[in-house]
Amino acid sequence: MTITYELNNLPIEATEATKATEVAKAIDETEVIVNRRLQEELAHRGPSRSRKPATPMDPLRIEFSPAWLAAGAIGGIGSLVALRRYGWPAFIGGGMLGIATLGHMIFGEPARPVLERIELRLPNLPAALDGMRIGQISDTHLGLLHTSNNLRWAVEQMERESPELIVLTGDQVMLRQAIPQLTQLLRRLRAPLGVYAIAGNHDHWEGLRDVQAALQLAGIPMLINQNRRLTWNGADLWLIGVDDVWDGELDYAAALAGVPDDSFKLLLGHAPDIADDAAGYGFDLQLAGHVHGGHIRLPLLGAFARPRYGRRYLDGIYQVGNMAMYVSRGLGGAPLRLFCPPEAAILTLRRA
């Protein structure tokens, strides 16, 4: 059996008869060539042509909580009152506390991902699929602070847990220059039923074709309005991946082509807000990301920020009509988190 990948007309072959050491050496040599070619390709193409917002504060991109903005204003006024009433020692003490908190938000919590273990109870789950485990990695946003280490950690968790299926639910990269890292960091990722990815808005913005190529080299197909029939314990699970709603061409009809109406359907959809529409297409479960849990969360104030197409569902388990949904907080995004640690997840399917 010969397995062939092709990246920008560069063929890469490995045979089952090849010795493990030769395969490892070939992969390392190929990776150097591919990374160089990817970097040259990225430099040659120049900026991505997309509807990427011009600034991170673009209101079309992100919505900030009015409660947080009000709290910030009140905090500023409180600082001035403290200065007037208690003098500089109190003011400086409050400032030092603020600096320490900010340091934790930038260098502490974003660098300490956690492994979530979630049970999803699904009434339409075939009995033979009860107990099946899915590993979810989302929103790695390679190129930002902590993201490479977080993804390396997530791959180690998946290797240790050995779930039956692994899915990457979008936004693999944040910077185009980081695309070649995908192959290096993900090439060890394997699962009995396969490893599959979908596109997020940042994958489109930074160069979807190059993201696909880097994933392909790691043996990970990206499902864009496509499906796969997976069989475990003699029962079928249909895995459906749709394009991103923000800057892609989401097409449920194309994604569901050939999928039996009465089958168990697992939807990979990056943005959780599509759930309101997706539930009407007969999906049993959606796995999403995109929102990063809001990044900063406090009681009463809630989440600090929510992106477009991520304003109704924050993180965790939801029931949307007859469809269940799990929204990951993701591994990356802006390195600014409080009470909202980055995550990878092991999801166990249970028949309700």
Domain termination residue (choose one: 48, 80, 107) = 107
Contact 263, 227 (CB under 8 A): no
* Domain membership flag for residue 149: yes
Res 78: pLDDT: 67
The answer to whether residues 266 and 156 belong to one domain is: yes
Res 91: pLDDT: 59
What integer best gives the mean pLDDT of the chain? Answer: 86
* Domain membership flag for residue 61: no
Res 302: pLDDT: 86
The answer to whether residues 239 and 100 belong to one domain is: no
Least confidently predicted of 90-94, 191-195, 199-203, 288-292: 90-94
Res 100: pLDDT: 85
* pLDDT classification of 97: cutoffs 50, 70, 90: confident
| H/E run at residue 77 | helix 66-86
With a cut of 60, say whether residue 56 has pLDDT above it.
no
The answer to whether residues 277 and 178 belong to one domain is: yes
How does pLDDT run across 130-176, given as a tens digit for each residue? 999 999 999 999 999 999 999 999 999 999 999 999 999 999 999 99
Res 299: pLDDT: 84
Res 37: pLDDT: 60
* Domain membership flag for residue 42: no
- Range 50-78 average pLDDT: 64
Res 21: pLDDT: 47
* pLDDT classification of 98: cutoffs 50, 70, 90: confident
Contact 141, 175 (CB under 8 A): no
* Domain membership flag for residue 62: no
Q: Domain count for the chain, please give it.
A: 3
Higher-pLDDT residue of 282 and 15 is: 282
Quote the CA–CA distance of 289 and 115 in Å, as a whole number: 15
The answer to whether residues 76 and 190 belong to one domain is: no
Q: Which pTM value belongs to this model?
A: 0.82
The answer to whether residues 314 and 190 belong to one domain is: yes
* pLDDT classification of 63: cutoffs 50, 70, 90: confident
The answer to whether residues 185 and 94 belong to one domain is: no
The answer to whether residues 192 and 96 belong to one domain is: no
* Domain membership flag for residue 101: yes
With a cut of 80, say whether residue 67 has pLDDT above it.
no
The answer to whether residues 83 and 180 belong to one domain is: no
Q: Which domain holds residue 121?
A: 115-351
Quote the CA–CA distance of 173 and 140 in Å, as a whole number: 6
Contact 285, 323 (CB under 8 A): yes
Res 9: pLDDT: 39
The answer to whether residues 170 and 77 belong to one domain is: no
- Range 86-109 average pLDDT: 79
Res 39: pLDDT: 60
Domain termination residue (choose one: 107, 126, 159) = 107
Res 270: pLDDT: 98
The answer to whether residues 122 and 264 belong to one domain is: yes
CA distances from 158 to 62, 181, 243, 344 (A): 31, 18, 25, 9
* Domain membership flag for residue 64: no
The answer to whether residues 157 and 14 belong to one domain is: no
Contact 311, 265 (CB under 8 A): no
Question: Percentage of residues in the chain with pLDDT exceeding 70?
Answer: 76
Quote the CA–CA distance of 199 and 268 in Å, as a whole number: 9
* Domain membership flag for residue 292: yes
- Range 323-347 average pLDDT: 97
With a cut of 70, say whether residue 6 has pLDDT above it.
no
**Angle, alpha carbons 66-71-76 (nearest 5°):** 130
The answer to whether residues 153 and 82 belong to one domain is: no
Contact 154, 182 (CB under 8 A): no
Contact 143, 172 (CB under 8 A): no
* pLDDT classification of 15: cutoffs 50, 70, 90: very low
